[in-house]
Amino acid sequence: MKPLRKFKNQQGFTLVEMLIATAVVSLLVLGFMGSSTALQQTSQAAYERSLSFQDANHVVELMRDAAATGTFPANVTGTYSNGGTVSGFTSLSNESVSVSYANASADPLDATVTVSYKENGTRVGTNSGRTYITQRTMSSSSSSESDHSDSDHSSDHSESDH
């Protein structure tokens, strides 16, 4: 049996060095994955917030269309009741669209449209848009709008205890 030879000037990595390098790389990969997940959730929340503002603006346009015919403001408040919800909006999780008025018989009509939904499926998101609506007058030679838009959009996000 030959004795084991000891190598002098040996090149390479030891097992301990490889374990430390693997641990460092693993921590970097986990950190990247965590930040990527957080970025994706933030992006999803921004997308949902954008959809909620689009839905609020859509309701405002429907209200303005309703103001074009009939006796104002009863034609608007009859279709979109004060404190009532507007049906047909399902683009967001648990979405609810409601309309409220500062004074339901005023001209211009001071209206606030509020959209509530589950942001990222976990917490409640609420966005509101406020506008003034008045009777539209349409003529055959030209269309003129007498609506005043006071794009006072606000956003309120509150944590849900679910």
State the first-to-last Cα distance of the chain, in angstroms, to the nearest integer: 72
pLDDT tens column, 47-76: 999 999 999 999 999 999 989 888 889 999
Split into its structural domains, the chain has a count of 1
The domain containing residue 70 runs over which residues?
Answer: 22-158
Q: Is residue 13 packed enough to be buried (19+ CB in 10 Å), middle (13-18) or exposed (0-12)?
A: exposed
Residue 57 belongs to some domain of the structure: yes
In the chain (162 residues long), the average pLDDT of successive 10-residue segments reads 63 87 95 93 92 93 89 91 91 92 92 93 90 77 44 45 38
Judge whether 101 lies within some domain. Answer: yes
Report if residue 6 sits inside a domain: no
Please indicate, yes or no, if residue 17 is contained in any of the structural domains: no
Written as one string, the DSSP assignment of 98-111 is EEEES-TT-SSEEE
Q: How high is the pLDDT of residue 130?
A: 93
Mean pLDDT of the chain: 82
pLDDT 10s digits, 69-90? 888 899 999 999 999 999 999 8
pTM recorded for the entire structure? 0.67
- Whether residue 16 is contained in a domain is answered as no
Is 147 among the domain residues?
A: yes
CA angle, 87 then 44 then 96, to 5°: 15
Residue 9 placed within a domain: no
